[in-house]
Amino acid sequence: MEGLLNALTGLSLLLIVMVLVSVRRSHIRVEYSVSWLGAALTLLVLSRSRYVMHWLAELLGITPPPLAVLTLVGCLFLLVLFRLSVIISALKDTNIALAQRVAILEFHLKALDEKGKAQA
Amino acid sequence: MSASAPGSLLIIVPAFNEEAALGTVVREIRETAPGVPVLVINDCSRDGTVRVARAAGAQVLSLPHHLGLGGAVQAGYKLAFEMGYDYVIRLDGDGQHDPHSIPAVFDALRASGCQMVIGSRFVGDDNPPSSFLRRLGIRFFRLVLRPILGKAVRDPTSGFVGVNREALQVFSQSFPLEYPEIEALVVLQRKAFEFLEVPCRMRRRMAGRSSITALKSLYYIVHVLLGVFVNLLKYEGRRPRRRRHRAELGEAGGAPAAPSTQEDTWKAS
């Protein structure tokens, strides 16, 4: 199980670096990086702190303890993904409304343009 | 294109890469309903859809990027509602819906007071047979929708649909994006609106192939089924009372409209 914990630590560090680099390069907005950083830091703490890991395993009734870490972190990432789905849905709705509005405005502009040409 | 006359009608045709059939469809509509504006909603086609539509005498609403059928139809509904149209009839651009059935839909729309009239291939008897998968899907959705709608619907997947101003207001705010026909019925049911089916002639598509292939049929069923139940679960506050809704629309939207000169012209022909 030590190997699994090391892999989880590596994954959390990789995720933290990726998020920080992405924020620095403006590939991800700060408000969306918070949930990923929170999940990655939780994974890091749980995979390195024996005391917290055993306490958590006892609380959840899952053995061996690293499996409890994996379960909790899995749930945490699921929540992050769900939050992103909510954000994407809202963005898609806004995008559709904007595209429709642009099309309608363009339609009116063309009609005005044609009317102006006809009058001239 | 304006909607100054009471009872004004707009015909909308959502189109995505329909250059092969669209010209004929628009010309047939204009022959059947002279004087009625035809609006083609170009869903970012890559072919000559816009050119063909304009050449045939239609106005074109061009979307800046591909939104899919629901997004395109809703754009047409929004424009029609904002321009003050009282009725909108939607036909497909592939020629499956015979424009000669437009008067039947329009008459039913005005006479019945229903918010939606569906041109049904199963109410009449001279329509070409649908594919086995389509018939199976329609039978399945008839069974699903019967208890939800409180009445039978024979052709829930028909895209030949007429709506009045009350439905226009609702659809311009909320309209399903993918495969919208069935979900739209549930949206109407949630508003306590009524619908009616009238016989319409359907034809084989003039060009192109259906976007719903055999493999996509399963996705279609799951997607629409989920959409139906999601629409049922949506919280929309108190169920609106028809009277209040009509008051919001103003007198022209709710009351049966007097025939306009525009309609008389093409109805007489």
Yes or no, beta carbons of A107 and B79 under 8 Å apart: yes
The CATH number of residue B193's host domain is: 3.90.550.10
User: pLDDT value at position B200?
Assistant: 86
Number of Cβ pairs < 8 A linking chain A and chain B: 34
Q: Within a domain: residue B228?
A: yes
**For residues A53 and A65, is the Cβ–Cβ distance under 8 A?**
yes
User: pLDDT value at position B249?
Assistant: 52
Query: Which of A94, A100, A108 should be substituted to probe chain B, the one whose Cβ sees the most B Cβ atoms within 10 Å?
Result: A100
Closest chain A residue to the Cα of B82, Cα to Cα: A104
Query: Using one digit for the tens of pLDDT, what is the confidence trace for B195-246?
Result: 999 988 887 766 666 666 666 777 788 888 888 888 777 766 555 555 555 5
B-chain CB neighbours of A96 within 8 Å are 67, 71, 74, 177
Nearest neighbour of A99 by CB, restricted to B60, B65, B82: B65
Per the structure block, which two tokens stand in for B130?
């649908």
Q: What is the mean pLDDT of residues B134-149?
A: 83
The C-alpha of A82 sits at a distance from chain B's nearest C-alpha, in angstroms, of: 17
- Listing DSSP states for B3-40 in one string gives --STT-EEEEEEESS-HHHHHHHHHHHHHHSTT--EEE
Return all residues near A50 (Cβ < 8 A) that are at least 6 apart: none
Is the ipTM, as predicted for this complex, more than 0.85? no
Q: How confident is the model at residue B257 (pLDDT cuts 50, 70, 90)?
A: very low
* In chain A, where the domains are located: 2-86
Return all residues near A21 (Cβ < 8 A) that are at least 6 apart: none
Q: How confident is the model at residue B13 (pLDDT cuts 50, 70, 90)?
A: very high
Q: Within a domain: residue B216?
A: yes
Residues 77-96 of A with CB under 8 A from B: 96
Residue B259: DSSP 8-state: P
Query: Using one digit for the tens of pLDDT, what is the confidence trace for B177-192?
Result: 878 888 888 888 888 8
Yes or no, beta carbons of B64 and A111 under 8 Å apart: no
Q: How many domains are there within chain B?
A: 1
Nearest neighbour of B62 by CB, restricted to A96, A103, A111: A103
Q: Within a domain: residue B269?
A: no
User: pLDDT value at position B128?
Assistant: 63
User: pLDDT value at position B11?
Assistant: 97
Q: Within a domain: residue B136?
A: yes
Query: Using one digit for the tens of pLDDT, what is the confidence trace for B15-60?
Result: 999 999 999 999 999 999 999 999 999 999 999 999 999 999 999 9
Q: How confident is the model at residue B265 (pLDDT cuts 50, 70, 90)?
A: very low
Range of lowest pLDDT (A49-63, A102-116, B38-52): A49-63
User: pLDDT value at position B250?
Assistant: 47
User: pLDDT value at position B6?
Assistant: 63
Yes or no, beta carbons of A104 and B79 under 8 Å apart: yes
- B32 phi-psi bin (left φ>0, alpha ψ -120 to 50, beta other): alpha
Select the more confidently predicted residue: B227 or B3.
B227
Cα separation, B1 vs B29, in Å, equals 16
Closest chain B residue to the Cα of A103, Cα to Cα: B63
Query: Using one digit for the tens of pLDDT, what is the confidence trace for B71-96?
Result: 999 999 999 999 999 999 999 999 88
Query: Which of B16, B43, B61, B66 should be substituted to probe chain A, the one whose Cβ sees the most A Cβ atoms within 10 Å?
Result: B61
Yes or no, beta carbons of B63 and A100 under 8 Å apart: yes
What pTM does this model have? 0.80
Domain hosting B104: range is 9-262
**For residues B29 and B93, is the Cβ–Cβ distance under 8 A?**
no
